Amino acid sequence: MSGHRHYTIRVYGRVQGVGFRYSALQKAREHDLTGYVRNLPDGGVLIEVEGEPAALDLLVEWCRQGPSWSRVERVEVEKQPPQGYTEFRIR
């Protein structure tokens, strides 16, 4: 996959305890993305994700809104070298 990319996404706001990780899992799988999502000690959510650029951009846009109970205040995205994930999981 020549277009394969890796994004590190950090999402801040009311994003823990609102189903954010489970919704991110569904969105990632829906767009054939691989990687993982986990809560951060500072109250944010970290998503390490790989796939085609268009699908990654769709996930980033979704992160700016999140699931209905969340209130996203900030989204940070860094491009990294691909790690070779084979599935998307919650950690």
Domain ranges across the chain: 5-83
Q: Which is catalytic among the residues 39, 71, 74, 91?
A: 39
| Residue 81 pLDDT greater than 70, yes or no | yes
73 backbone φψ class: left, alpha, beta (φ>0; ψ -120 to 50) = alpha
CATH assignment of 5-83? 3.30.70.100
The size of the chain, in residues, is: 91
Residue 2 has pLDDT above 80, yes or no: no
Q: Active-site residue among 14, 21, 64, 74?
A: 21
Let me know: does 36 contact 47? Beta carbons within 8 Å.
Answer: yes
Residues 33-73: tens digit of each pLDDT:
999 999 999 999 999 999 999 999 999 999 999 999 999 99
91 vs 88: CA distance, rounded Å: 10
Write out the two tokens for 88.
């998307």
For residue 71, indicate whether it is catalytic. Answer: no
* Cα–Cα distance for residue pair 44/83, rounded to 1 Å: 22
Collapsed DSSP state (helix, strand, coil) of residue 49: strand
* Residue 21 annotated as catalytic: yes
